[in-house]
Amino acid sequence: MEVTQKVAQYISDSSDEEVDIITVILFNKLIIFILFTESDSDNDALVSENDDDIPRLKSNASTQTSTIGVCYGDLTTQEADVIVVCSSSEYLFKSICKADGDSVSNSYTKQIKDNPDAPVITVTAAGRIASKMIYFLPWQSNPDESILRKSIEKFVSVALEQAIQCNYRNITFPAIGCGGFGCSIQFIARTMVENVHSKVKAHSMMVSFVIQPDRKDIYDEFKKQIDLLESPSPSSKLRIICATFGKGDIEAEMGDITKQKVDVIVGSTSSGILTD
């Protein structure tokens, strides 16, 4: 308590200009961040007049925005940088070409004629499709799960790599194989979601899966697989807590004090671990 009392006294004696961020380590494990705002904020409204000194817990501030989503809809109406189309699906291919007119089908036909082995055909949307670009990729089902998994991973990887190379940040996939191909919905959803998740970790991208409105079974399975990947584990949920303290915010988390990117770190000189 002596350490925290001294830090609290130092904070109370300091102006906002003098102290922006302070990191305190307690028991060699618990780190507290106190972040001061430059001006008054709505945080003050979270503390009652009778107990100004008591921090009020808020929702976890460390929750990250999901990079993967699923929705009901139509590929042609998705306002994304890129929509991905399985060119092997006759129904999907025709519906996209019909929606965007002859310019799309003519561009696709010319490119596939010039380079029949191209892993992806990229076509600029003509305006009647909401996305900027259309990626046409071939894909075939296979009864062998090992081969099927590799083909799905290739389909996803080629599309994502092309989008990343062109600096696109928003891409939408269909649920390939879940319609006329008759593949296992669970297998397709798990493979696509896991592969997308592993690919976008190092990139700031939003990836969506669009599902036909009448296929709740497909939507539910994709949502389930996304929730399994995106939901934090019980241990990570307890990793950070946040509270309001006067004009500042307090965060406590498990970590290494030497790796904190802050203005000041405070440690006890009587701690053998810290002094070593």
pLDDT digits (tens, 9 = 90+) for 115-137: 999 999 999 998 789 999 999 99
Q: What is the pLDDT of residue 65?
A: 41
Q: Interior CA angle at 268 toward 264 and 270, to 5°?
A: 155
Please give the average per-residue pLDDT across 53-58, as a whole number. 35
pLDDT at 176: 92
Cβ partners under 8 Å of residue 266, min gap 6: 3, 7, 22, 23, 24, 25
**Arithmetic mean of pLDDT, 4-21:** 52
* Maximum C-alpha span of the chain: 77
Residue 109 in contact with residue 93, Cβ under 8 Å?
A: no
- Report pLDDT for 211: 95
3-state secondary structure of 243: strand
Task: Provide the residue ranges of all domains of the chain, joining segments of one domain with +.
Answer: 2-61+235-275, 68-230
Is the model's pLDDT at 1 over the cut of 80?
no
* E-strand stretches of the chain: 21-26, 30-36, 56-57, 68-72, 82-86, 121-124, 133-137, 170-174, 206-211, 240-245, 248-254, 264-266
Q: In the chain, pLDDT over 70 holds for what percent of residues?
A: 62
The residue that leads in pLDDT, 259 or 118, is 118
Q: Which fold has domain 68-230?
A: Leucine Aminopeptidase, subunit E; domain 1 (3.40.220)
Give φ, ψ of 103 to 5 degrees: -60, -40
Residue 181, amino acid: F
Cα–Cα distance, 121 to 113 (Å, whole number): 11
Q: Are 23 and 257 in contact (CB under 8 A)?
A: yes
The 10s digit of each residue's pLDDT in 176-222 is 988 777 789 999 999 999 999 988 887 888 999 999 999 999 999 99
- Residue 231 pLDDT class (50, 70, 90 cuts): low
